[in-house]
Amino acid sequence: MAYWGFVGLAVAVAACWFFNVAYYREAQLEHPVFLDHYIEAESGSGVVFYLYVLENRSETNRIERIRIPELEDAQVSRSWNDSYRYQDLAHFEVFLDQEMASELYFENWEHAETPIMIGQVEVMYTDGSVSTENIGEIRLYPRLYNTDKPLSAQDKIMEAQRGQSTVVAQENLKITGVDYNEASRLGNRLELYWGQGSEVGEWDFERPEEDRIIGKPIHEVQFPMELKLGEDVTVRYRFRDVTAQDWSKVYQLLPRFRVETKKEIIQARPITIQYSPAPTEDEVRQFVEERRNRP
Amino acid sequence: MKPAFANLFWGLLLVWIDIPFSTFDVFNDTVGYLLIAYGMHRISKPIPLFTFGRWLAAFLAILSIPTTFSEESVSLFDQPFLLQGTWWEIWMSGVLGEFALLLLIYTLCEGIGRLAKSRGENGLFEHMRGSGSVYLFSAVPLMLISPFLLNFDIEALPVILLILGGVSLIGMLLILYGLIRAGRDLHRTTPKRRLDIRV
């Protein structure tokens, strides 16, 4: 009796371990994975943006340093990690100080459309190995104007996937339009709202999201719109993840305001719209499974 | 016979207690298993079950050598080992080792219990059977549940494991006390001689 009891126990224990070890291994990445970034940033004002990397928590060979060849002097440092069961989502802060930013060389400074494009970074690991990783796309634009800002952003509120900025006119001006063409790649993930005065209620976190007064969708706004000195408009945004993979595509956008002042017609990027990934445990697991199944 | 039970007692204590000093366990498991094997060998005549038990202890001594002399941990809950270890290493160092230890403790309790019964020491027989059962009935669920800690957050699991761990601790203390008692009671005399004295 005892003999068969031990045989049964041996089989049961082996089965429990086999299942759990296999399940555990299946949830591990083969190497750290950079999320797919699309980041727009404007040089000249101490640029800060984040690169996101998913890496195994049990990984002994971790990322020690990230180097961006096109931005040799950029300071890249690990800011913090969001921890999941098997992985850490590491946030690496990329910072260009004033001095460094001013030294950036833009080939077509006069043609402000041409940014510095960055698609890969060099990654150094704790074991001394180095690899080149695709990160998506970083577009570093030159500043669009070098005089005083006609529009300045105030009262910024940013959460992981929504936020708002109030833009104040620093002189009498006319906004003739807002371009955010690059946001088209987001499909219907991004919602932008525009409001003035009573169109915009308080940013009330306690109220249900649907009850908040958030302004009107930006495509319904009539341009041109005149703003006198000191008048403001509020731009609110919200990302909605449609599929389980959306969280792995990280965005930072700079909508372009076309502005007419008395002196000139300029373009300005006073507000930042950014998406910080905050996946669920299941979404991370699904992402890892997909990566492992890739040929 | 008393020295043999002393071997078993100290052997089991060495195996049971882990005091790591740097990467070396002061209470060395390999030495512990060898002591148990030696102790079982010494009393394998009156306890035939120990003929099997001594080989089991020797096998465990061999299995424990890597953990004694290697700086790398081979614990089943050590994540690099789980990731990089081969299935063979995992079975040998982890699953098989845990299971063989359970079998060894069963052999130890059962063997001493049978000898005690044959010598008319019913108190010791009941004690060894009881403490063996306490240990087994707490250690077996522990062995079955603990792999799931790797992957699942079950709210009650830490409490269950704490309770089972506590019961298993009591079981092991009872077994150690049983070994002291066996060295004392089974050493004294055989039932036949006791009968002779009475006559």
Distance (Å, rounded) from C-alpha B190 to C-alpha B199? Answer: 14
Across the interface, of B87, B90, B95, the residue whose CB is closest to A13 is B95
Determine contact, residues A261/A231, Cβ cutoff 8 Å. Answer: no
**pLDDT single digits (tens) A162-183:** 888 888 888 888 999 888 777 6
Run of H or E including B123: helix B122-145
Determine contact, residues A87/A280, Cβ cutoff 8 Å. Answer: no
Which segments of chain A are extended strands (E)?
Answer: 33-34, 36-42, 48-56, 63-67, 75-83, 87-95, 116-125, 130-141, 151-158, 162-169, 173-179, 190-195, 216-217, 225-227, 232-239, 249-253, 256-260, 265-268, 273-274
The arithmetic mean of pLDDT across residues B106-134, rounded, is: 92
Is the model's pLDDT at B79 over the cut of 80? no
The predicted structure's pLDDT at residue A51? 95
The predicted structure's pLDDT at residue A151? 82
Distance (Å, rounded) from C-alpha B29 to C-alpha B33? Answer: 6
- In this prediction, residue B11 has a pLDDT band, given cuts at 50, 70 and 90, of very high
**Residue A277 DSSP label:** -
Along the 295 residues of chain A, how does pLDDT read in single tens digits?
677 888 898 889 888 888 988 888 888 998 899 999 999 988 766 788 999 999 998 888 889 999 998 888 788 999 989 999 899 999 999 998 766 655 565 554 555 567 888 999 999 999 999 999 999 999 888 776 555 578 888 777 777 888 888 888 888 889 998 887 776 777 778 888 888 876 676 666 566 766 666 778 888 888 888 888 888 888 888 888 888 888 999 999 988 888 888 888 888 888 889 899 999 999 999 999 988 887 6
The arithmetic mean of pLDDT across residues B152-181, rounded, is: 89
**What contacts 24+ positions apart, CB below 8 Å, involve A288-293?**
A288/A27, A288/A28, A288/A29, A288/A54, A288/A86, A288/A87, A289/A26, A289/A27, A290/A245, A291/A29, A291/A30, A291/A33, A292/A26, A292/A29, A292/A30
Three-state secondary structure call for residue A163: strand
Strand partners of residue A272 = none
Is the model's pLDDT at B133 over the cut of 50? yes
Pick the residue of B52, B82, B114, B135 with the most A CBs within 10 A to test the interface with A by mutation. B82
Residue B183's CB is within 10 A of a number of other CB atoms, namely 19
The predicted structure's pLDDT at residue A283? 93
Strand partners of residue A34 = A53
Written as six digits, the tokens of A183 are 């946001």
Written as six digits, the tokens of A139 are 């577009």
Query: Which residues of A fall within a CB distance of 8 Å from B79?
Result: 57-58
Please, what is the angle between helix B49-69 and helix B29-42, to 10°? 160
Nearest-by-CA chain B residue for A61:
B80
Query: Which residues of A fall within a CB distance of 8 Å from B151?
Result: 20, 23-24, 27, 85
Is the model's pLDDT at B71 over the cut of 60? no
- In this prediction, residue B193 has a pLDDT band, given cuts at 50, 70 and 90, of very low
The predicted structure's pLDDT at residue A102? 57
What percent of chain A is helix, strand and coil (3-state, nearest 5)?
20, 40, 35
Helix runs in B17-95, H state only:
29-42, 49-69, 79-84, 87-89
Q: What global pTM score does this model have?
A: 0.75
Q: Is A242 exposed, middle or buried (CB count within 10 Å of its CB: 0-12, 13-18, 19+)?
A: exposed
The DSSP string of A183-209 is GGGGTTSEEEEEE-GGGB----SSS-G
- Cβ contact (<8 Å) for B147 and A10? no
How close is the nearest chain B Cα to the Cα of A24, in Å? Answer: 6
- Cβ contact (<8 Å) for A23 and B150? yes
Three-state secondary structure call for residue A117: strand
Query: Which residues of A fall within a CB distance of 8 Å from B110?
Result: 2
- In this prediction, residue B84 has a pLDDT band, given cuts at 50, 70 and 90, of low
Query: Which residues of A fall within a CB distance of 8 Å from B90?
Result: 17, 21
**Residue B111 DSSP label:** H
CA-closest candidate to residue A278, choices A1, A54, A74, A101? A54
Query: Which residues of A fall within a CB distance of 8 Å from B138?
Result: none
Report the amino acid identity of residue B165: G
A247 torsion bin: left (phi>0), alpha (psi -120 to 50), beta (else): alpha
A57 touches chain B (CB under 8 A): yes
**Residue A271 DSSP label:** -
Distance (Å, rounded) from C-alpha A132 to C-alpha A137? Answer: 14
- Cβ contact (<8 Å) for A85 and B151? yes
The mean pLDDT of chain B is 82
B112 torsion bin: left (phi>0), alpha (psi -120 to 50), beta (else): alpha
The predicted structure's pLDDT at residue A54? 95
Determine contact, residues B66/B93, Cβ cutoff 8 Å. Answer: yes
The predicted structure's pLDDT at residue B196? 42
Strand order through the sheet with A33-34:
A33-34, A48-56, A87-95, A75-83
